Amino acid sequence: MSARPKAVRREARAKINVFLRVLGAREDGYHDLQSLVVPISLADLVTVEPADALRVEVEGAPELAGEGPGGLNLALVAALALADACPEASGALVRIEKRIPVAGGLGGGSADAAATLHALNELWGCHVDPLTLAGIGEHIGSDVPAMLAGEPVLMTGRGERLVPASCSELHWVLVDLGFGVRSPEAYRWWDEDGGHTGPDPEPLLAAAAAGDADAIAPLLFNDLEAPVVARHPAIGEARARVLDGGALGAVMSGSGSSVVGLARDETHAHALAAAVGGIAVVGPAAGGR
Ligand code: C5P
């Protein structure tokens, strides 16, 4: 028998949606979408170690203990789902050091779930293959398969269909509004407001692959932004501040509330961050381990 690791530590990277195009509502309550999802340098830290029972501790955001479906933290949902699929599973303590704003459209909960799946797969020696892991992730949340991938992906379906996407390294300023927006509400507001679908993303995908920030900037879009901003004007004000501060372009990430501004380079991102009270991040950021 090979020795099991004593503990496994993983970075749970946040994501931004460079564009998010909502195609329409589906019978099952979800919406079909297209989105370029890019992992960024902002990350939570997930550490798993053997324990008698399965337990999740969150440092930095204790209110997260009961965040997910049925009042469960998404990382705990992930741990339970992997335990079901893995005969070698036993107890584990999952510790999450929280840095990603909660419900900010940055995929924090999904990133924690994905990092927990990867880390427990290793700790328990499950050897669950990536495709099966993605299948487990899909049942935890629409963003989890993309977060498991840990690289830029073009996401379609309700979020579970992924193809690797080419996106050069870009520098962004991220503004955390300090409040969350629940995804079901954002999508419901999109329905209520007539369901506008944005443009063909091909030009944006080509500009992202080429790493041409000036070409990308005017093409950034998020179909959830207008309906969410209509209910939360502070998000629109933050976006305007980022643009006034000199960002090449700005867009809300995911279902909000975070706003990201595109910078020319790293120095520009730090200057913007200081000017608008945000943080400088790079994406795509490699790693996740
Ligand atoms: O999959 P997840 O649990 O993250 O989705 C939360 C909610 O967000 C769904 O119940 C649905 O209301 C909405 N949603 C959607 N279309 C998607 C993803 C999420 O309508 N593609």
Question: What was the pLDDT predicted at 289?
Answer: 47
The protein residue with its alpha carbon nearest to ligand 1, atom 19, reads 30
Distances (CA, A) of 282 to 43, 82, 114, 171: 11, 31, 20, 5
- Encoded tokens for 236: 């629109």
DSSP 84-138: HH-TT---EEEEEE--SPTTSSS-HHHHHHHHHHHHHHHHTT----HHHHHHHHH
- Encoded tokens for 77: 């949902």
Residues 161/155, Cβ–Cβ less than 8 Å: yes
Residues 118/148, Cβ–Cβ less than 8 Å: yes
End-to-end CA gap in the chain = 24
Residue corresponding to tokens 């279902």: 255
Cis omega (within 30 of 0) for bond into 257: yes
Q: Which residues of the chain have pLDDT under 50?
A: 70, 289
| Nearest in space to 242 (alpha carbons), one of 265, 217, 224, 260 | 260
The protein residue with its alpha carbon nearest to ligand 1, atom 3, reads 141
Collapsed DSSP state (helix, strand, coil) of residue 164: strand
Residues 106/253, Cβ–Cβ less than 8 Å: yes
Kindly state the helix (H) or strand (E) to which residue 41 belongs, with its residue range: strand 31-50
Question: What was the pLDDT predicted at 62?
Answer: 58
- Encoded tokens for 8: 């496994």
Distances (CA, A) of 90 to 54, 83, 137: 8, 7, 19
**Degrees to nearest 5, angle at CA 181 with 94 and 191:** 125
Question: What was the pLDDT predicted at 102?
Answer: 86
Question: What was the pLDDT predicted at 103?
Answer: 84
The answer, yes or no, to whether any atom of ligand 1 lies below 6 A from the CB of 29, is yes
* Cα–Cα distance, 90 to 104 (Å, whole number): 33
Atom of ligand 1 nearest to the CA of 110: 4
* Cα–Cα distance, 210 to 213 (Å, whole number): 9
The answer, yes or no, to whether any atom of ligand 1 lies below 6 A from the CB of 33, is yes
Reported as a single tens digit per residue, the pLDDT across 137-172 is 999 999 999 999 999 999 999 999 999 999 999 999
- Encoded tokens for 7: 């503990």
The protein residue with its alpha carbon nearest to ligand 1, atom 10, reads 184
Query: In percent, how much of the chain has pLDDT > 70?
Result: 94
The answer, yes or no, to whether any atom of ligand 1 lies below 6 A from the CB of 158, is yes
Reported as a single tens digit per residue, the pLDDT across 71-104 is 568 999 999 999 999 999 999 999 999 999 988 9
Question: What was the pLDDT predicted at 113?
Answer: 97
Q: Residue 31 Cα, ligand 1 centroid: separation in angstroms?
A: 7
pTM over 0.85, yes/no:
yes
